[in-house]
Amino acid sequence: MIGVIVKDEYKSEVEEFFELFKTPWEYYVCGHQYDVVVTTEDRLPEVAPRLTIVYSSHKLHIDDRLGIVTSEHYDAGDICFGDLIMPLYCGLLTFQLKDEAHACLQSTAGVAGLKCGRPGYNVIRIGYHLLEEIGFLLKAGQPVEQAEIPTLDIQIELLRNWIINSGIALLEIPPAPAGHPFIVCLTHDIDFVGIRNHKLDGSFWGFAYRASIGSLVKLFRGRTSLRRVFRNWLAVASVPLVYAGWLRDFWEPFEWYLDIERELPATYFLIPFRGRSGEKVTGRHSFRRAAAYAVDDLTESIHLLRCKGCEVGVHGIDAWHSVERGREELAKLVQVTGDRADGVRIHWLLRDRATPSVLEKCNFYYDSTVGYNETIGFRAGTTQVFRPIDVEKLLELPLHIQDGALFYPGRLNLSESQAMQRCQRIIDHALCRGGTLTVLWHDRSHSPERLWGDFYVRLVADLKSSGAWFATGRQAAEWFQMRRQVKFERAESVNTVRVRILGPAHASPPLTVRLHLPESSGESNSGDTHFTISDFEWHGEQGEPNRTLARTIASVFPEVDQCAV
């Protein structure tokens, strides 16, 4: 059991952090015995735990007591994690190596973490404030320059490693369904539903230029093939026949995606109202945000999507800043579908600090706007579905890979081989640490003039071969909500831990209970303890395998109450 000492102002951050790092914890209670105490305050627990981890970017009084010598303070910094340089946004304190202390964390400016021992205390002193960093990531998000670094997930891994390497057994619920390394959400923002809706308007002329002259420029620069140039020219030449209804509209998105994603659920975000560019949209071309279709036009397509197991959500126009407009947009989709609509992604990914609160008041279950237009990566530093700070119910399904960010000139403008390398790094992170990898491929991206469909086919094939669980946005959010309902409680009479799940009697897909088990109580000469990992499926309170699981946990953790698992 981890005891946590923090000020009240950081309660939202610490509670969300331990929903993402799902392991037994509670706010520190005087007199209770803990394996680990995590503190951001200038005091040590009265009853010494096996390990105390102190986070602060400022010199503390207890530093002198522990014989820790501080060095320099920086407003921001970087720490080293393997081959990665991970950013810190809220301050860094470095230390001098003295006496028996040894470095457990390095930064580009010097030692950022010390492990030291004093009579009765085994302490790790970290030179940054963990909860301030978590708050920054979940509220503001990382700048584009740091997008490829899964900063929040690494913070979890660091804390886990410090505990395990101190010879302390750890129980947790990993952020992926049992039997799968991670979750995949395939999503599509529907901005256009056919070139027939754009008869000689700005969208048409932009398409015609890029498909004709633009294709030649790309060919001369080695960025496309002659075959694709011919496809684009043929599309331009066929437009009159498409307008006349004699040829299939090559911008129609649904049939192509349903074929490529056969038996894979996907989420489609649909614009509720035609011709609304939205309020509070800055920039010269804000008028381009208005769609030439309304969700009323798509009743047959919506029926087909839902029959194929897909989800439809709101591609919001003004929901990001207006409760009234957001409720109107949600009500319109509900009216057309005749069913609930749980998800929203704001058109152009517009958002501000108040957006999560606004969307919650609109009665959305989850949002999927936290991502980048300019690049791919981890805006919130994580692949996990999380709850934004200062809201009560809304969940955030972060966006990681977007087609436009990969291929648009003025954004990353990558070749397909370069794009696959960048995507593979994100897939590798999900394979290692779990979570939900969310992909956005727009409605026109498979068709002329973009022709990014071949790349998408390869990307989906790679994701399928990974063994991931494919889910709609709603399914992914519901699975993480089920995981959030797992509670770890200390029994009142003795120092035991009771594990129970609140909500569904059966977990589907099942959760995993993971045990990190040290092979010995002592540490190796390298400072790391050898340990084994044991995983067990947990099917909920009434799941049949739970008796075996309870016996196994009890054999390793005598303090765990078997009857409650």
Per-residue pLDDT, 179? 95
Same domain, 361 and 467: yes
**Do 240 and 339 belong to one domain?**
no
Domain count within the chain: 4
Indicate the residue among 413, 446, 479 that finishes a domain. 479
* 314 vs 336: CA distance, rounded Å: 12
Which pLDDT band holds residue 504 (cuts at 50, 70, 90)? low
Cα three-residue angle 44-50-56, rounded to 5 degrees:
40
**Residue whose pair of structure tokens reads 């202390």 in the numeric block:** 101
- pLDDT of residue 549 exceeding 70, the answer is no
Pairwise CA distance, residues 397 & 399, whole Å: 7
Provide the pLDDT for residue 33.
85
Residue 42 above 60 pLDDT? yes
Residue 59 clears pLDDT 50, i.e. is over it: yes
Q: CA nearest 350: which of 326, 370, 376?
A: 370
pLDDT of 491 > 70? The answer is: no
Domain endpoint, select from 107, 139, 172: 172
Quick one: 114 and 204 in the same domain?
no
What per-residue confidence (pLDDT) applies to 91?
Answer: 97
Q: Is 195's pLDDT higher than 70?
A: yes
Whether 416 is in a domain gets the answer yes
Q: What are phi and psi of 508, to 5 degrees?
A: -140, 125
pLDDT for res 543: 64
Q: How confident is residue 329, by pLDDT bands cut at 50, 70 and 90?
A: very high
Q: What is the pLDDT of residue 492?
A: 52
Q: Rounded mean pLDDT of the chain?
A: 91
Q: Are residues 17 and 137 in the same domain?
A: yes
Same domain, yes or no: 76 and 102: yes
Size of the chain in residues: 565
Percent of all residues in the chain with a pLDDT value above 90, rounded to a whole number: 77
Residue 155 shares a structural domain with residue 127: yes
Rounded Cα–Cα distance for residues 261 and 518 (Å): 43
pLDDT given at position 512: 93
**Residue 490 counted as domain residue:** no
Q: Which of 111, 138, 172 is the last residue of a domain?
A: 172
In a domain, 485, yes or no: no
Same domain, residue pair 302 and 215 = no
Residues 188 and 206 placed together within one structural domain of the fold: no
State the pLDDT at residue 31.
84
φ, ψ of residue 439 in degrees (nearest 5): -115, 135
Burial of 71 (0-12, 13-18, 19+ CB in 10 A): middle
The number of angstroms, rounded, from the C-alpha of 160 to the middle of its chain's C-alpha atoms is 19
- Range with lowest mean pLDDT among 190-204, 250-264, 478-492: 478-492
pLDDT of residue 538: 87
Q: Is residue 167 part of a domain?
A: yes
Average pLDDT over residues 474-485: 95
Residues 200 and 189 in one domain: no
In the predicted model, is pLDDT for residue 501 greater than 60? Answer: no
Q: Please check the confidence at residue 80 and state whether its pLDDT lies above 60.
A: yes
Q: Residue 306: what are its φ and ψ, rounded to 5°? A: -70, -30
pLDDT (0 to 100) of residue 507: 75
Please check whether residues 190 and 200 belong to one and the same domain: no
pLDDT digits (tens, 9 = 90+) for 408-442: 999 999 999 999 999 999 999 999 999 999 999 99
* Whether residue 264 sits in one domain with residue 243: no
- The whole-number average pLDDT for the span 303-332 is 97
Share of the chain above pLDDT 70, in %: 91
Estimate the crossing angle of helix 202-209 against helix 226-243, to 10 degrees. Answer: 150
Task: Kindly report, residue by residue over 94-142, the tens digit of the pLDDT.
Answer: 999 987 789 999 999 999 999 987 666 799 999 999 999 999 999 999 9
- Together in a domain, 204 and 237: yes
Helix ranges (DSSP H) in 202-265: 202-209, 215-220, 226-243, 254-260
d(CA 386, CA 350): 19
Task: State mean pLDDT over 356-382.
Answer: 98
Quote the pLDDT of residue 303: 96
pLDDT per residue over 19-37, tens digit each? Answer: 999 999 999 999 888 999 9
Does residue 487 lie in a domain region? no
Question: Distances in Å between the alpha carbon of 162 and those of 2, 40, 52, 146, 167?
Answer: 13, 16, 10, 25, 9
Q: Which domain holds residue 376?
A: 183-194+251-479
